[in-house]
């Protein structure tokens, strides 16, 4: 992974001797081709220097892709809903969950999502700030998300999918799940509507 929260270049989508590309650039190229635009067109390589606009989903795992008590797992029906969000919006998944703090959990999440044909474009940074605004002391997730956004100004459309309510100044971007239920069809549709 690079210092900017994106996965380093690897051999994805390379054909006929193409060099490996980053997951984000590969996904942008795939999206462009799906929309009938050449990957060499303005969506990726704007000769005027304008950056493409990214759609980003900041993803929590526990209480979103699983239910309380089912940690270290991703429920298939929740992953299918996540796949629908990605397929319908072309958004990039940036993990903001505590799963990103451990290499073991990162690897597990990559494997579990890849089983559903999903890939992770990046991870929010782990910052040292803590908050006493909730019953337990925890990381201020909205600050980590804002830090990622500051480093990626092309991410202008984004939604936070989380079971935590405290998103500070980013609260209007939150689609909140109930931790005992996780992602539902109605919430998936709300995410899709907000990203389109």
152 with 178, same domain: the answer is: yes
186 with 119, same domain: the answer is: yes
Mean predicted confidence (pLDDT) in 110-138? 76
- Determine the pLDDT at residue 53: 82
42 with 64, same domain: the answer is: no
Q: What domain count does the chain have? A: 2
pTM of the model: 0.72
38 with 132, same domain: the answer is: no
DSSP summary character for residue 6 = B
Percent of the chain's residues with pLDDT above 90: 59
Please answer whether residues 113 and 57 qualify as being in contact, where contact means their C-beta atoms are separated by less than 8 angstroms: no
Least confident of 21-30, 78-87, 174-183: 21-30
What is the residue whose two structure tokens read 């990214």?
54
69 with 44, same domain: the answer is: no
In this structure, what CATH number is given to the domain that contains residue 103? 3.40.50.1000
Which pairs from 141-149 meet CB under 8 Å and 24+ separation?
141/60, 141/96, 141/166, 141/167, 142/166, 142/167, 142/168, 142/169, 142/170, 142/171, 143/168, 144/96, 145/58, 145/96, 145/170, 146/170, 148/5, 148/58, 148/94, 148/122, 148/124
109 with 84, same domain: the answer is: yes
- Whether pLDDT at 46 is above 60: no
63 with 113, same domain: the answer is: yes
143 with 119, same domain: the answer is: yes
Domain of 105, in residue numbers: 53-195
Pairing of β 130-131 and β 138-139 = antiparallel
What is the residue whose two structure tokens read 């984000």?
24
16 with 62, same domain: the answer is: no
119 with 189, same domain: the answer is: yes
């Amino acid at each position: 992974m690079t210092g900017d929260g994106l996965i380093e270049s690897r051999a994805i989508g390379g054909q006929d001797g193409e060099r490996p590309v980053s997951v984000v650039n590969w996904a942008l190229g795939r999206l462009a081709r799906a929309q009938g635009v050449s990957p060499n067109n303005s969506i990726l390589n704007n000769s005027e220097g304008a950056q493409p606009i990214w759609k980003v989903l900041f993803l929590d795992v526990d209480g979103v892709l699983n239910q309380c008590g089912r940690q270290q797992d991703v429920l298939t029906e929740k992953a299918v809903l996540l796949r629908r969000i990605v397929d319908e919006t072309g958004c990039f998944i940036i993990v903001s969950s505590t799963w990103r703090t451990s290499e073991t959990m990162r690897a597990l999440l990559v494997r579990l999502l890849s089983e559903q044909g999903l890939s992770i474009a990046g991870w929010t940074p782990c910052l040292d700030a803590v908050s006493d605004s909730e019953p337990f002391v925890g990381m201020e997730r909205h600050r980590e998300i804002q830090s990622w956004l500051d480093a990626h100004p092309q991410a202008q459309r984004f939604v936070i999918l989380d079971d935590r309510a405290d998103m500070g100044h980013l609260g209007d971007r939150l689609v909140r799940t109930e931790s005992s239920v996780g992602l539902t069809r109605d919430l998936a549709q709300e995410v899709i509507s907000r990203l389109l």
